[in-house]
Structure 1
Amino acid sequence: MAQPDEPHPPVVPSGPRPSKTCDVVRTERPRSCSGMAVTGLRTAKYHLPEWHRRNAGVCYEAHTAGEQAERGRAEAKHLVKHAAASAQRAQGYSKATLGQRLQDVHFWRVELQKEIMELDAETNLLAAQKLRLERALDATEVPYSVVIDNLECRERRQPPDLVIDEVERQLMKEADLIREIRDLLKRTIIQAATQIRSNRIQKENCELDWSDKVETYHIDDKCIGYCADSTNVQFHPSSVKFEENASTPKSWAQFSHDNISRAEQEKLASVQLRSLINNIIHDASEDLRMQRAAVSEAFDSHCRELDQAKLRLESHLRQILKDIGDEEANIENLKKAIRDKEAFLKVAHTRLYDRSARPNVELCRDEPQFRLVSEVEELTVFLEALKRKLMESEQNLKNLEETRMKLEKEIAVKANSIFIDRQKCMGYRVRYPVDLEVASYQQ
């Protein structure tokens, strides 16, 4: 028996495959089958060629689906292997970059922490110097009050000792020096307070940067510990995009570098200011010490001059008192001499008067008469001379008394000046601070 022809594989169109292998017109199967053929109607059975074609199509589809599935499995296996390797590489590279980033963050964190500690220590040192300035300023109040009191006390000197002498010039110079030092200390205190405020502001900036670095380090250290087996990982699709305000690595490093650079600048300015404060306090203390020595020397010299002047005046007063005594004795002697000469003159006048009563020719200009007249004239001349000398001596005595009064007044003025300069001024200057630099360290 001849075999039927092998069916050729149907041509698969490029378009979508129809849902059925071949379109066969079927009639509706009769509701009941009596086993008898119905004449003139097609049955539901396929023709043999159709059956072969349909079987061939199903086999081809099965073969094609199997090949596609095998290719898909191979591709999937390759993709899984490639994706796993790529994911491992990507995660490893990300972990390495996070590790490097951790090193960078740690570096800047350490640098910032070091700068914060140094700036804080420098600020404390500057605050201590500022306290020294304030103590030095307080210490200048005593010498200034001493100088003003000295000047006011010396205003109570009596003329002619109320003069602008070397002591007053040195006191005025000392008062001006203290005022200049106080102004300088006040300006330096303001400058120190400004620098301390700048140090603290920059320290706060570094602390904020350091705090951000610490938080960032903890975040990146947490991130570097994540892996595919971690239980606390989840999807965050929105985190893939870059933030608009995100910095670049260059600007990030520059930000910390600028903070440290500004902190270094403030620290250097603070160190220079501390050195300046040391020099100011030392120089001010030295200037005050030298001026105090100059004032003390002027006081000592002036008091010695006053003592010498008072001693000379007292010596002159003693001499004047002696002269007054001698002049008083001289006046008494002159008065006694005048009285004695007046007695002699009375005798001569009486003799002449009595002899003028001689009668007649007995009224003679004899030798006794001429002698008596000569005696009267001689005594009169002596009396006039003695009276003139008495008036001159009385005037001299008056002058001596006036001189005595002047000397006593001058001695009293000198004693008052000595009391003011030595007892009031120099005694009050004992309260003068020994050293302004030492006073700046005292509590």
Structure 2
Amino acid sequence: MKSSSFSKPGLCHNVPEWNRNNQQLSTTAQHEQQVSTTVRQEGKCQRNKIECQTTFDESCTSGRLRERVWDLARWKEVLESCAQKVDEEMQALTLSKEQSEHALAATVTPLEVSTECLTLRDGRRGMERVVDPVDEELRKEVVLIERVQGVLQQHIDKALEQLGVLQEIRHQLTSDLQNKMEALDIDMTCLSLTTLSPTISLKPNPTRIPSGSSTPQEWLEFSHSNVSCAHNAMQKSQQLREETSLSRAQLQNEMEAQCRATEFTLRKRNHDEKQARDELQWQIKTTEDEMSEMEAHILGLEADLQAKTFPLMLAHTRLEKRTARPGMDLCRDEVQRGLVDEVQQLEASILVLKKKLHNSNLKKQSKSY
């Protein structure tokens, strides 16, 4: 009987090698399991860390957004309040300007009156055209009114200029306020977004810095500057209104004082002129009465002169006839001497009467002027 033969399948390992191989495989498997466990633990830890970081970052961002919204809302209120105050100051300054314009318009008539008074007084004639206190006060009033008009016009020009400044500042405040309102709407919208919002999506290059961006310090300084400029402009406007109001009151007082002085001088001058007129009228009446008496006196002198002519003619005739006496009867007797004395006396009386009549006529002519 033949024995069966077996062929070797290949290299055979012994049991220890087999055990070592199994041990090595087990060790490798355990190591890989440990590595996998470590990776899983690290991954889980990293996921938890990232989740916490994401939640924290989102919470911080939301907190910053809330702070930003609060800052924007606060600045919005500040700008609105400041803009309202600027509007109120513009209205007050406009009212002050209108008051100055009315005051300026009110000086036109007094100036015309004073100028017309000077023109009318230039029409005086003779000795009445005198530079009296009325002329001086009227000229002072004209100079004062012209100065008042110049000062009021300066106040109006300054008010117009300041209104332009306030208008520009109002525009800046309005622009800043509009930007704040738009930024507030945007940040409030961002604050309302969540991971479940349907409008969120990935954007290309969202971390880019837009052109024209400003730093927080620049943003704060810009609004501070607008508000500060507005306060400075309003303070200057208030000071201008106070100065204008005080100046208007002072100018009004000066004009009223000058007007009273002019009126007082006019009344005094009118009183003096009335007194002079009454005096002249009384003198005219007295002169007329005197002229009447003088005329009566002249008539009396003429009558007396005429009355002395006939006695003189009589004496002349007697003397002439007595020259015809003959011989020794042509004697210079008492009659002759009496007639001569009578003629001389009559001629002297007539000469006196003629002189009186001449002087009276001269007086009458001088009084008639």
Within the alignment, does 1:143 sit opposite 2:110 as a pair? yes
1:364 corresponding residue in structure 2? 331
Moved more, 319-328 or 247-256: 247-256
CA deviation after TM superposition for structure 1 residue 66, in Å = 6.5
CA deviation after TM superposition for structure 1 residue 267, in Å = 0.9
Q: Deviations over 1:64-100 (max 9, x none)?
A: 8766655544443333222211110111111111111
1:294 corresponding residue in structure 2? 261
1:99 to 62, 66, 86: 66
SS in 2 for 1:240: coil
CA distance, structure 2, for counterparts of residue 397 and residue 314 of structure 1: 18
CA distance, structure 2, for counterparts of residue 141 and residue 8 of structure 1: 131
Q: Deviations over 1:266-325 (max 9, x none)?
A: 111111111112212222221121111111111111111011001111111111111111
1:332 to 277, 281, 299: 299
CA distance, structure 1, for counterparts of residue 267 and residue 132 of structure 2: 13
Within the alignment, does 1:176 sit opposite 2:185 as a pair? no
CA distance, structure 2, for counterparts of residue 375 and residue 355 of structure 1: 15
Once the two structures are superposed, the pairs formed by residues 33-44 of structure 1 within 5 Å of their partners are: none
Amino acid of the structure 1 residue aligned with 2:76 = R
1:273 to 240, 248, 253: 240
Once the two structures are superposed, the pairs formed by residues 415-430 of structure 1 within 5 Å of their partners are: none
CA distance, structure 2, for counterparts of residue 192 and residue 7 of structure 1: 113
Report percent identity of matched pairs.
27
Change in 2 beyond 3 A, CA 1:101/1:152: same
1:110 corresponding residue in structure 2? 77
Once the two structures are superposed, the pairs formed by residues 23-422 of structure 1 within 5 Å of their partners are: 70-243=37-210, 245-402=212-369
CA distance, structure 2, for counterparts of residue 259 and residue 8 of structure 1: 90
Q: Deviations over 1:220-239 (max 9, x none)?
A: 11111122111111112422
SS in 2 for 1:80: helix
Within the alignment, does 1:5 sit opposite 2:14 as a pair? yes
SS in 2 for 1:231: coil
Amino acid of the structure 2 residue aligned with 1:353 = E
Q: Which has the higher contact order (CA 8 A, sep 6+)?
A: 1
CA distance, structure 2, for counterparts of residue 254 and residue 274 of structure 1: 29
Amino acid of the structure 2 residue aligned with 1:4 = H
SS in 2 for 1:238: coil
CA distance, structure 1, for counterparts of residue 286 and residue 13 of structure 2: 184
Q: Deviations over 1:116-136 (max 9, x none)?
A: 111111111111111111111
Change in 2 beyond 3 A, CA 1:8/1:144: farther
CA deviation after TM superposition for structure 1 residue 8, in Å = 6.5
CA deviation after TM superposition for structure 1 residue 396, in Å = 1.3
Change in 2 beyond 3 A, CA 1:339/1:230: same
Moved more, 219-228 or 303-312: 219-228
CA distance, structure 1, for counterparts of residue 17 and residue 158 of structure 2: 107
CA deviation after TM superposition for structure 1 residue 60, in Å = 9.9
CA distance, structure 2, for counterparts of residue 102 and residue 367 of structure 1: 153
Moved more, 255-264 or 71-80: 71-80
The structure whose residues are more often helix, as a share, is 2
Amino acid of the structure 2 residue aligned with 1:222 = T
SS in 1 for 2:128: coil
Amino acid of the structure 1 residue aligned with 2:125 = Q
CA distance, structure 1, for counterparts of residue 314 and residue 144 of structure 2: 85
Aligned length: 358
CA distance, structure 2, for counterparts of residue 279 and residue 311 of structure 1: 47
CA distance, structure 2, for counterparts of residue 198 and residue 254 of structure 1: 20
Amino acid of the structure 2 residue aligned with 1:273 = L
Structure 2 portions without partners, runs of 5+: 1-5
1:417 corresponding residue in structure 2? none
CA distance, structure 2, for counterparts of residue 369 and residue 324 of structure 1: 43
Q: Deviations over 1:360-404 (max 9, x none)?
A: 2222222211211121112111111111111111111111212xx
Amino acid of the structure 2 residue aligned with 1:121 = E
CA deviation after TM superposition for structure 1 residue 57, in Å = 11
Structure 1 portions without partners, runs of 5+: 10-52, 403-443
Moved more, 343-352 or 67-76: 67-76
TM-score by length of 1: 0.75
Amino acid of the structure 2 residue aligned with 1:234 = S
